[in-house]
């Protein structure tokens, strides 16, 4: 009985294994027979990207432009308070407050420096007055000495020649001393004028700095320049302005008041697809918040220079898409799905991409007739590719690689030189595009460096000489 059960179990196990192998072979055979037909019809090439809605026109709400002043030399200012995003405001309404603590401390230091400059001016005025008074008294005394020497010389005309000679020498010495004193007085007057101008220059400069600082601090409370809905500006990292964010003198925008009547979708296209995108192309637009809504638009701006987004290695190009018409439900910052129609063919011959195989950069397909057909391909979209030569409408081709692929006869060899030449031209075109982009990037970098150098040359040096300061004041 036990042997019978064991034998029955073995038989059943063998049957299951045989059934499994049989079904596997059948499935494999079924997969090998997957065919598709070469179709003709409308063919669209799409670049699908995600974007974000923005108003085409908006009014910027900015921190004081005086923060860019070279006299004040602000680096960054913290946002102390903000009203909630989406708040509808009227012109003049309160929007934000910048932290005054650092600016107030700097103003206190400036006032101390101003007081010191006032004292320096007073001291310089007193010192030069006393010094010049002493020099004038010295000139008077030397004038008297010359007159005395002249009288002595006149009275010695009946004296011996040696006495007369000595009197002439004494007169000459007195006149030379007077002449040197006059020249010294002239130089001291010039020096005193320079000292006074320098002291006055430093005082006026510090007064301007104090006035600028007081003026900019009074503008740390930011108000709306017009009416609309508050939308906060995005920072470089992608986050929106919030309490605690830092305002840079070179990026003063705190928020915007968008014009909702005209919207755009701002998106980024990777460098592989950017060559397909051109200004004026039609776009199908969907909004994630309203999936039932469909919109149309047009590409109206394509960046010439690529950029690298934060936390990514991919090079992308900014593309702006203008949304046709207006819809009151659309709001800035909504996510959009954009299908850019880069090309459209009313009657094209096309096949699925998975039916195309490549060997040594030469594309081909397997035909049901048993041929390994070389094909000349045209543009492609995400799923299909246009066939320019090598196939006819209605022909059946395999979707996957057959096991007996080596038995298929090669056809269409005359297309191989054409394919290779197209590949070469495409490579040259891509290399040229990259060179042009690199040249533009280098030109922009050089232009920025020149601006920085000019800016540093225009900035007065704190260690300049007295004559330099006076020349600049003149």
Output the pLDDT for position 177. Answer: 87
User: Is pLDDT at 127 greater than 90 in this prediction?
Assistant: no
Hey, is 104 helix, strand or coil? helix
- The confidence score (pLDDT) of residue 33 equals 63
Q: What is the sign, positive or negative, of the torsion defined by CA atoms of 72, 74, 80, 84?
A: positive
The mean pLDDT of 169-193, rounded to a whole number, is 86
Q: What pLDDT, in 10s, does the model give residues 66-124? A: 888 887 888 889 999 999 998 889 999 999 999 999 888 888 998 999 899 899 889 88
Confidence at residue 358, expressed as pLDDT on a 0 to 100 scale: 93
Mean pLDDT of 197-218: 89
Question: What is the CATH architecture of 61-98+222-258?
Answer: Beta Barrel (2.40)
What pLDDT, on the 0 to 100 scale, is given for residue 472?
Answer: 40
Instruction: Please say if the pLDDT value at position 460 is more than 50.
Output: no
**Which tens digit of pLDDT belongs to each residue from 49-61?**
999 999 988 899 9
Instruction: Considering only residues 61 and 131, tell me which one the structure prediction assigns the higher pLDDT.
Output: 61
Confidence class for position 364, pLDDT limits 50, 70, 90:
very high
How confident is the model at residue 465, as a pLDDT?
Answer: 41
Q: pLDDT band for position 4 (50/70/90)?
A: low
Q: How many Cα atoms sit within 13 Å of 136 on the Cβ side?
A: 7
Cβ neighbors of 409 (< 8 A, separation 6 or more) are 370, 371, 372
Mean pLDDT of 354-361: 92
Q: What is the pTM of this model?
A: 0.57
Would you list the domain boundaries of the chain? 61-98+222-258, 103-218
Q: What is the DSSP letter of 412?
A: -
Q: What percent of the chain is modeled with pLDDT above 70? A: 88
Of 102, 4, 73, 36, nearest to 400 (Cα)? 36
Half-sphere exposure (Cβ direction) of 458: Cα atoms closer than 13 Å: 9
**Three-class secondary structure of residue 185 per DSSP:** helix
């Amino acid at each position: 009985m036990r042997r019978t059960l064991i034998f029955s179990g073995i038989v059943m196990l063998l049957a299951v294994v045989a059934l499994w192998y049989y079904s596997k072979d059948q499935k494999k055979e079924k997969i090998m027979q997957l065919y598709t037909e070469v179709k003709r019809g409308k063919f669209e090439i799409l670049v699908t990207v995600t974007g974000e809605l923005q108003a085409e026109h908006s009014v910027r709400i900015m921190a004081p432009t005086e923060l860019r002043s070279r006299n004040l030399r602000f680096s960054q200012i913290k946002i102390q308070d903000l009203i909630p995003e989406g708040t509808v405001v009227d012109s003049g309404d309160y929007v934000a407050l910048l932290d005054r603590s650092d600016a107030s401390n700097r103003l206190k230091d400036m006032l101390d420096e101003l007081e010191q400059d006032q004292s320096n001016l007073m001291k310089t005025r007193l010192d030069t007055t006393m010094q010049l008074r002493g020099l004038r008294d010295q000139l008077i005394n030397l004038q008297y000495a010359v007159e005395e020497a002249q009288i002595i010389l006149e009275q010695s005309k009946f004296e011996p020649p040696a006495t007369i000679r000595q009197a002439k020498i004494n007169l000459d010495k007195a006149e030379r001393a007077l002449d040197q004193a006059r020249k010294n007085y002239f130089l001291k007057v010039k020096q005193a004028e320079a000292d006074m101008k320098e002291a006055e220059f430093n005082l006026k400069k510090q007064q301007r700095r104090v006035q600028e600082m007081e003026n900019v601090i009074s503008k740390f409370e930011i108000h709306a320049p017009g009416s609309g809905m508050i939308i906060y500006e995005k920072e470089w990292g992608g986050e929106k302005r919030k309490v605690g964010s830092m305002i840079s003198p070179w990026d003063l925008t705190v928020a915007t008041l968008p014009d909702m009547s005209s919207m755009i979708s701002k998106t980024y296209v990777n460098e592989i697809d950017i060559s397909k995108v051109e200004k004026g192309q039609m776009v199908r637009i969907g909004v994630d918040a309203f999936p039932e809504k469909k919109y149309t638009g047009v590409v109206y701006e394509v960046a010439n220079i690529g950029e690298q987004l934060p936390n990514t290695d991919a090079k992308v190009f900014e593309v702006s898409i203008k949304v046709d018409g207006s819809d009151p439900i659309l709001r800035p910052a909504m996510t959009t799905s954009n299908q850019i129609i880069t090309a459209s063919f009313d009657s094209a011959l096309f096949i699925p991409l998975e039916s195309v195989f490549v060997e040594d950069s030469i594309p081909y397909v397997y035909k049901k007739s048993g041929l390994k057909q070389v094909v000349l391909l045209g543009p492609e979209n995400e799923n299909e590719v246009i066939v320019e030569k090598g196939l006819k409408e209605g022909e059946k081709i395999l979707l996957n690689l057959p096991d007996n692929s080596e038995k298929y006869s090669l056809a269409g060899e005359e297309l191989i030189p054409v394919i290779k030449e197209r590949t070469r031209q495409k490579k040259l075109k891509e290399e040229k595009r990259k060179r042009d982009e690199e040249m533009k990037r280098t030109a922009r970098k050089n232009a920025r460096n020149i601006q920085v150098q000019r800016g540093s040359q225009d900035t007065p040096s704190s260690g300049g000489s007295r004559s330099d300061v006076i020349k600049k004041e003149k």
